């Protein structure tokens, strides 16, 4: 008597297959998320660096423009104590000739209302395609770079009190504005010094501006400006 064998077809999936599929999907999703997160972080860092660099170049361009239009004004008649070029450790000021007459312009760094703190990541590493931050997070105080402009007559009467103000950058280190002064010698070389020379207007000014960039440290940009109204200092 022949024996018939009945075959049973299996249309469903087992629990093991479901777990295996879920594991594979999780691994793929984790890899995609890691790549996406790294891309977003890199993009944010790049945008922050570009923004800080753009602010720095804009500020230095504005300073250079004003310096190129500065004048050497003779105050000996009524204001012997005053000079056409006046600066301190944290400021740079001079007299500018504009279409609306003479103006006193000053660049200075000072804290914003309430102060500002900027976080800098100390160290980073990558493990299994996942970015991991290690070490502590330091807080660095930042200040703003201001441009002040005052009518010449008001400047003689009350200095920069009530002057119009413009914020050029909000991401400058507290000692991030450094000005050095150049004297041109007979051999056309420039001798740079930290102290302001005893002349009414230096012929060259070097401006160093240090910006804070989120997650990528500080960036210093240097600009040398030669002033046509400056007094040439011989040997």
pLDDT tens across the length of the chain (235 residues): 555 545 545 556 677 778 888 888 888 888 877 777 766 665 556 566 677 678 888 889 999 999 999 988 877 777 777 888 888 777 899 999 988 899 999 999 988 765 544 444 444 555 444 444 444 445 667 788 999 999 999 998 888 999 999 999 888 888 889 998 888 777 778 888 888 777 778 888 999 998 886 555 678 889 999 887 777 654 4
H-helix or E-strand containing 28?
Answer: helix 15-68
What pLDDT is stored for residue 42 in this prediction?
59
Q: What is the pLDDT of residue 8?
A: 46
Please work out, in degrees rounded to the nearest 5, the angle formed at the alpha carbon of residue 221 by the alpha carbons of 219 and 226: 170
- Quote the pLDDT of residue 127: 47
Beta-bridge partners for 192: 182
pLDDT for the residue numbered 104: 94
Cβ atoms 94, 63 nearer than 8 A = no
14: phi then psi, degrees, rounded to nearest 5:
-85, 165
Q: 64's torsion region: left (phi>0), alpha (psi -120 to 50) or beta?
A: alpha
* pTM (two decimals): 0.68
Report the C-alpha gap between 71 and 75 in whole angstroms: 12
Angle in degrees, CA 60, 65, 68, rounded to 5: 120
Question: CA-based Rg of the chain, rounded to a whole angstrom?
Answer: 31
């Amino acid at each position: 008597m022949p024996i018939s064998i009945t075959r049973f077809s299996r249309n469903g999936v087992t629990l093991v297959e479901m777990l295996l599929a879920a594991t594979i999907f999780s691994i793929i999703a984790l890899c995609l998320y890691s790549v996406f997160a790294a891309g977003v972080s890199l993009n944010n860092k790049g945008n922050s660096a570009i923004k800080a660099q753009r602010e720095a170049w804009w500020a230095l361009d504005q300073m250079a423009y004003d310096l190129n239009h500065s004048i050497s004004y003779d105050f000996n008649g009524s204001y012997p104590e005053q000079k056409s070029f006046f600066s301190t450790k944290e400021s740079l000021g001079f007299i500018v000739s504009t279409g609306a007459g003479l103006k006193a312009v000053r660049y200075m760094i000072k804290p914003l209302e309430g102060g500002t703190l900027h976080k800098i990541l100390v160290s980073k590493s990558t493990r299994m395609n996942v970015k991991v931050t290690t070490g502590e997070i330091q807080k660095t105080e930042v200040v703003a770079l201001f441009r002040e402009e005052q009518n010449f007559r008001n400047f003689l009467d009350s200095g920069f009190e009530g002057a119009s103000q413009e914020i050029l950058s909000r991401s400058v280190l507290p000692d991030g504005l450094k000005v050095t002064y150049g004297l041109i010698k007979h051999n056309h070389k420039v001798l740079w010094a930290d102290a302001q020379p005893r002349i009414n207007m230096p012929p060259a000014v070097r401006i160093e501006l240090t910006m804070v960039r989120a997650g990528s440290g500080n960036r210093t940009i240097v600009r040398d400006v030669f002033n046509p109204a400056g007094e040439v200092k011989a040997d």
